[in-house]
Amino acid sequence: MANLIKSAKGMNDLLPEDMVYWHTLETTVRHLFTRYGFNEIRTPIVEATELFSRAVGEVTDIVEKEMYTFNDRDNEKASLSLRPEGTAGCVRAGLEHGLLYNQQQRFWYSGPMFRHERQQKGRYRQFTQMGAEAFGMVGPDIDADIIAMTARLWQELGLSDNRLELNSLGTPQSRQAYRALLVDYFSAYTDQLDEDSKRRLHTNPLRILDTKNPAMKALVAGAPSLHEHLDTESAEHFAQLQALLTAMGIEFVINPRLVRGLDYYSRTVFEWITPDADLGSQSTICAGGRYDGLVEQLGGAPTAGFGFAMGVERLVHILKNRALVPAAKPMDIYFMVDPTQVVAGMAFAEQLRSALPTLTMIMNGGGGSLKAQLKRADKSGATFGLTFDNPQQLTLKSLRERSEPVVLTPEAALTQLSSHLTQKA
Ligand code: ATP
Ligand code: MG
């Protein structure tokens, strides 16, 4: 067993026992997004690197140090990257297929994202996001509609204790003035800034507010507050959004330090935060906002946008912790065959599957005596063992309860199983 190859750092296997949580989450999300009028879009995992440097921003953590970037084999100059997030690809696809200009469009997506981050609980190098994007609407009605959709998702999943934090970043123009105030403030305390923040002071000072370094918290708390420096229109937009959410019965807290890690946001930004303590500083499970400049930045006509992404691994972790998903349904049948009857037995098993499309049945594999097969049946977790004795006779036995096995003709076996399935449904 020497020399076993392990999965790459930060890239995880999802084992069969986890799937019930993933499927519950994915199914709930898919239904909900469809109910709100969003249509699924699937874009490639690999895109031109320039898409992300233009969309996410040159001086963000993602583009500076987290992307998996490589040259294509047949073109040394074609730089490609594994996608670190889903919005850029949605916009690129929307523009490429003419889905955005002068129209309203609602997309949702799901899939793996890649960031070369330090591995921690809830922070991986390959992780899954499900998200939604709406184009062509300046809000704040669509902002409220989409935030309400996320609130309903927590309700449906039994996670209503998530906390909603909101902020408005204003327009890029009004942010310039605020940026100058921020540089003045932090410049007076350079001795208290960590390495990242020193670097950001002149490239992207707003990002200092987003620091996860506890030693910086007090300094950040004293910084000038962004939403006191909003332009009038953004302030009005933000006030209307709050009024809408209140009318919809959605609680929120305003967090003036909320800036989000990506560059493309304008006006509304929001995060949902779980109270679960063991995710530590990885407690944000859903984040998004408005990005009215992004489509234009990627070469399209000016088009408003609003969207969010949720971290599926983090959500699965919470569902699992709280045992919020019912156990997977047991298999109906473990099918055994008398060793002298394998050909007829397997043919009958296929007839059974054709006649009963909802039946779940494991075929005994690897032969063995009936005694050996029964041992496997007992271990399998199935509800019944069904033995094919010969073409005239089968034996049905409960694997859960102590009851006498029942001998049946093939026709009677079919009727019996059919009524079991009706009861199950
Ligand atoms: P964080 O502040 O946790 O680094 P972020 O601001 O980088 O998150 P976004 O890019 O907005 O996050 O992604 C949206 C959501 O995707 C996050 O709130 C989180 O739930 C999830 N997410 C982001 N990065 C990772 C990761 N490396 N591993 C697992 N989930 C992640
Ligand atoms: Mg991050």
Q: How far apart are CA 396 and CA 373, in angstroms?
A: 14
Give the Å distance between the CA of 359 and the centre of ligand 2.
Answer: 45
Among 301, 321, 341, the domain boundary falls at 321
Q: Are residues 133 and 267 in the same domain?
A: yes
Q: What is the count of structural domains for the chain?
A: 2
- Which ligand gives the minimal distance to the CA of 122? 1
Among 290, 321, 352, the domain boundary falls at 321
3-state secondary structure of 49: helix
CA 174 to chain centre: 33
Q: Are residues 285 and 369 in the same domain?
A: no
Give the Å distance between the CA of 31 and the centre of ligand 1.
Answer: 23
Give the Å distance between the CA of 359 and the centre of ligand 1.
Answer: 40
Note whether residue 213 is domain-resident: no
Among 321, 341, 371, the domain boundary falls at 321
Q: Are residues 367 and 297 in the same domain?
A: no
Q: Are residues 338 and 311 in the same domain?
A: no
Look up the CATH number of the domain holding residue 267: 3.30.930.10
Q: What's 102's DSSP letter?
A: T
Q: Which residues, listed in sequence order, are joined to residue 399 by a DSSP beta bridge?
A: none
- Of 109, 130, 282, the one to substitute when testing ligand 1's pocket (max ligand atoms within 8 A of C-beta) is 282
Q: Are residues 145 and 96 in the same domain?
A: yes
Give the Å distance between the CA of 259 and the centre of ligand 1.
Answer: 13
Note whether residue 201 is domain-resident: no
- The atom number, within ligand 1, closest to the CA of 123 reads 28
Note whether residue 328 is domain-resident: no
Q: Name the closest-CA residue to atom 7, ligand 1.
A: 261
- Which ligand gives the minimal distance to the CA of 113? 1
Other beta carbons within 10 angstroms of residue 281's beta carbon come to: 12
Note whether residue 81 is domain-resident: yes
Q: Name the closest-CA residue to atom 23, ligand 1.
A: 311
Q: Are residues 338 and 402 in the same domain?
A: yes
Look up the CATH number of the domain holding residue 375: 3.40.50.800
Note whether residue 10 is domain-resident: no
Give the Å distance between the CA of 30 and the centre of ligand 1.
Answer: 20
Where are the extended beta strands (E) located within 58-125? 69-72, 75-82, 105-114
- Which ligand gives the minimal distance to the CA of 86? 1
- The atom number, within ligand 1, closest to the CA of 125 reads 27
* CA nearest to 56, candidates 95, 80, 93, 85: 85
- pLDDT at residue 279, rounded to an integer: 83
Q: Are residues 367 and 307 in the same domain?
A: no
- pLDDT at residue 262, rounded to an integer: 65
Q: How far apart are CA 135 and CA 276, in angstroms?
A: 33
- Which ligand gives the minimal distance to the CA of 285? 1
Note whether residue 218 is domain-resident: no
Give the Å distance between the CA of 192 and the centre of ligand 2.
Answer: 23
Q: Are residues 161 and 252 in the same domain?
A: yes
Give the Å distance between the CA of 385 and the centre of ligand 1.
Answer: 46
Which domain range does residue 23 map to? Answer: 16-171+231-321
Q: What lines the ligand 1 site, CB under 6 Å?
A: 85, 115, 117, 122-124, 127, 129, 260-262, 282, 284-287, 309-311, 313-314
Note whether residue 206 is domain-resident: no
Q: Are residues 238 and 376 in the same domain?
A: no
Q: Are residues 287 and 343 in the same domain?
A: no
Residue segments in the chain with a per-residue pLDDT below the cut of 70: 1, 261-263
Q: Let me know: does 166 contact 257? Beta carbons within 8 Å.
A: no
